[in-house]
Amino acid sequence: MFLALLAAMLPSCREGRSVGKETLSPRIVSLAPSLTELVFILDMGDHLVGVTDHCNYPPEAKTKPRLGGLKTISLEAVISRNPDIILGTEDGNEQSLLDQLRNLHLRLYTFQPRTLEEVLDTIRSVSKVLGKEGRGQELVKELKAKQALVEKAVAGAKPVPAILVFQHEPLILAGPGTFANDLIQKAGGVNLAADARIPYPRYSLEMLIEKSPEVIIDVSMSEMEGAEKLASQYWSQWPDLPAVKNQKVAVLDSDLVTRPGPRLFLSLVQLAKILHPESFEAKKP
Amino acid sequence: MTPLSRSRLFSILGLLFMLLVLAVLLALFFGNVQINLGFYELADQFLALVKSEQMSRDGMILFRVRLPRALLAVLVGGGLSLAGASFQALIRNPLADPYILGVSGGSAFAAIIGMIIASAFSFAPVPIFAFLGALASIFLVLAVARTRGKLPVITLLLAGVVVNAFFGALVMFLLSIASSSHLPSAIYWMMGQVSSKNYSTIGLVALYYAPGIAVLLGLARDFNLISLGEESAEQLGVNIERSKLLAFIAASLLTAVAVSVSGLIGFVGLMVPHIIRLTFGPDHRLLLPASFLCGGIFLALCDLLARLLIAPAELPVGVITAILGGPFFIWLLRKSRERMS
């Protein structure tokens, strides 16, 4: 589906402004934090001439010219950067902005990975667009190895009932169709909020208590100082939850589980270690 | 106006209070999780709550998840309705409520500032911020609307609309620049919700409410005179500007506390006083306390719906009140137009 989308897009790109076969020093604009991370990890960070306000990783990304928030990118700002290549996302960016960029015959490539596998596809495609296929292959191999490591570690282990918390007040959990849901399952867990029909449900507190999660992954305070302390303070309200009783409340940065970039695979390893510490201790004494 | 006998007043209020208790019981025993507790276990769990001892899972769901939420819904619904009834009397317009007058907007703006400054776990200062915001906005409205020492209804409404729009813009500005860890919670908070707060927060809300409720109920007689017309009220010796000022401050306090604990829940302050007026007549000695009780019943039941409709997910209760309130507002508007023509 993703490839079909890309294929449908390519012809319009070809018709676009000719920038020569492969520009040696392309001016790249990224319209999403995950794509910014990817450009940097493909060693093309120096060529980035525009990013969003949310692009905070790696730290160098913060020094790049900003074009606005994910949904509030200014068309004028994008054009003023005189880009050769624009990388965007179908779900993350405003459709009207993408249409305008296409109408101007700018070289826009959009991506919309929805699973871990599709993230690998995105990495391959972006590395091709940037002329960094070798580095892309290397990275994909590296990430696949991480995934295989986790799969091996949690194979046969009993899935652990868990939830991932985006916010306390109101209580918002990771529901079906999110990367967090995918990560929990792949890391050997069962997402207890998968029964909600929406991706980011305000979840019923009484249902949460009833379902007794054994692990709570709290990403609600990723940017705050003393997040660990605040989280344990919050969860101590419900001392009888198994996760709280057994001190299995883990605090993570929400960027790590929401951005469809290479760091998702690091989160996968981290989550597997939280859900199944025994599998990892056995391997590395 | 038919005279209000003491026995009629107390029998109606007594009935409404019983209905309120019934609504809370409904909210307590209906939910997504089936609770199977006998009477003795129930009493046992309640005692455990009072002594803050270890509770069973069912006890926790009943007394720490559902009960505080139902009580909060009662307080918020009651406060907004009482404030709405008061504002309607003060500006003698049936379409007035805390939102139209700009009080909610000012509270919301100041409460967000309070939330950003205070940590996420300390609620106590937030209503104070909200109250200051409510006062600032109501005095701004009064100052803008005051013409030759009086407060004409039209300019008051217009000033309210302008001030509300202004604070609404400031809220959006704040939301746009606030760090993202505050941002989503502020957005949900703007949609209006009640949640399971701890009992100390609920006690705090009741404490902040007390002076506001006392002042408004104490002014019920003055409200009756004001609704006869400002001139006749003055002829009857009511210091109308002073009563109005006191009432504005008290109603602002109720609005501010309700907003800071639950966000922007609309239409409660508009609908409930109207239904009371249609059912029991316009005497404020009955209208004001009955509005508080019925507002509590109404919001407790709306919140029950909000919990059940898309379970296990929940809706913000403001969505339910707005779905009910929108058509009600249109009906009211048409009715008042028919009466005029």
3-state secondary structure string across B248-315: HHHHHHHHHHHHHHHCCCCCHHHHHHHHHHHHHCCCHHHHHHHHHHHHHHHHHHHHHHHHHCCCCECC
Rounded-to-integer distance, Cα B86 and Cα B255, Å? 11
pLDDT of residue A274: 94
pLDDT of residue B81: 96
Indicate whether B244 belongs to any domain.
yes
pLDDT of residue A71: 83
Contacts of A7 (CB under 8 A, 6+ apart): none
Handedness of CA A219, A224, A226, A231 (dihedral sign): negative
Which residue from B318, B267, B323, B322 is spatially nearest to B295, judged by alpha carbons?
Answer: B267
* pLDDT at residue B2 greater than cutoff 70: no
Say which CATH number the domain at B85 has. 1.10.3470.10
Q: Beta strands A189-191 and A160-167: pairing type?
A: parallel
* pLDDT at residue B58 greater than cutoff 50: yes
Indicate whether B315 belongs to any domain.
yes
Share of chain B above pLDDT 90, in %: 38
Q: Which domain range does residue B224 map to?
A: 6-27+64-334
Indicate whether B58 belongs to any domain.
no
Exposure on the CB side of residue A164, measured as CA atoms within 13 A: 31
Q: Per the CB < 8 Å rule, is A206 touching B195?
A: no
Nearest to B313 among A167, A169, A198 (CB): A198
Question: Domains (ranges, CATH) in chain A?
Answer: 2-131 (3.40.50.1980), 156-283 (3.40.50.1980)
Q: Would you state the structure tokens that stand for residue A272, as one six-digit string? A: 């597997």
Q: Which residues of A make CB contacts under 8 Å with B?
A: 54, 166-172, 175, 193, 195-198, 201-207, 209-210, 220-224, 230, 233-234, 237-238, 240
Which residue from A270, A255, A193 is spatially nearest to A221, judged by alpha carbons?
Answer: A255
Question: pLDDT per residue over B136-172, tens digit each?
Answer: 988 888 788 887 777 676 787 788 888 888 888 888 7
Indicate whether B54 belongs to any domain.
no
Indicate whether B40 belongs to any domain.
no
* pLDDT at residue B14 greater than cutoff 60: yes
* pLDDT at residue B50 greater than cutoff 60: yes
Is B179 in the A-facing interface, judged by CB distances under 8 Å? Answer: yes
Indicate whether B1 belongs to any domain.
no
Which residue from A130, A102, A124 is spatially nearest to A22, judged by alpha carbons?
Answer: A130
Q: What is the mean pLDDT of residues B81-94?
A: 88
Indicate whether B211 belongs to any domain.
yes
Q: Per the CB < 8 Å rule, is B314 touching A170?
A: yes
Q: Which of residues 188-217 of B touch A (CB under 8 A)?
A: 188-189, 193, 195-196, 198
Quote the number of domains for chain B: 1
Rounded-to-integer distance, Cα A29 and Cα A78, Å? 7
Q: Which residues pair with A85 in a beta bridge?
A: A28
Rounded-to-integer distance, Cα A173 and Cα B313, Å? 10
pLDDT of residue A285: 45
Confidence class for position B27, pLDDT limits 50, 70, 90: very high
Enumerate the residues of chain A whose CB falls inside 8 A of the CB of residue B261.
Answer: none
Q: Would you state the structure tokens that stand for residue B291, as one six-digit string? A: 């509005």
How many CB pairs lie under 8 A apart between chains A and B?
91
- From the CB of residue A106, how many other CB atoms can be counted at a distance below 10 Å? 19
Indicate whether B274 belongs to any domain.
yes
pLDDT of residue B233: 67
Low-confidence ranges of chain A (pLDDT < 50): 1-3, 5-21, 284-285
Question: pLDDT per residue over A86-113, tens digit each?
Answer: 999 988 888 989 999 999 999 999 998 9
Handedness of CA A57, B188, B199, B252 (dihedral sign): positive
- Residue spans of alpha helices (H) in chain B: 6-29, 39-50, 57-60, 67-91, 103-117, 125-145, 153-177, 183-190, 199-218, 220-228, 230-235, 240-262, 268-280, 284-308, 317-340
pLDDT of residue A24: 66
Enumerate the residues of chain B whose CB falls inside 8 A of the CB of residue A210.
Answer: 32-33, 57, 61
Rounded-to-integer distance, Cα A256 and Cα A234, Å? 22
Angle, in degrees to the nearest 10, between helices B6-29 and B67-91: 140
Residue tagged 């692990």 (tokens): A215
- The CA-atom distances, in angstroms, between A239 and each of A213, B69, B132, B176 are 12, 19, 37, 36
pTM: 0.83
pLDDT of residue A9: 47
The mean of the pLDDT values for chain B is 85
Rounded-to-integer distance, Cα B115 and Cα B132, Å? 14
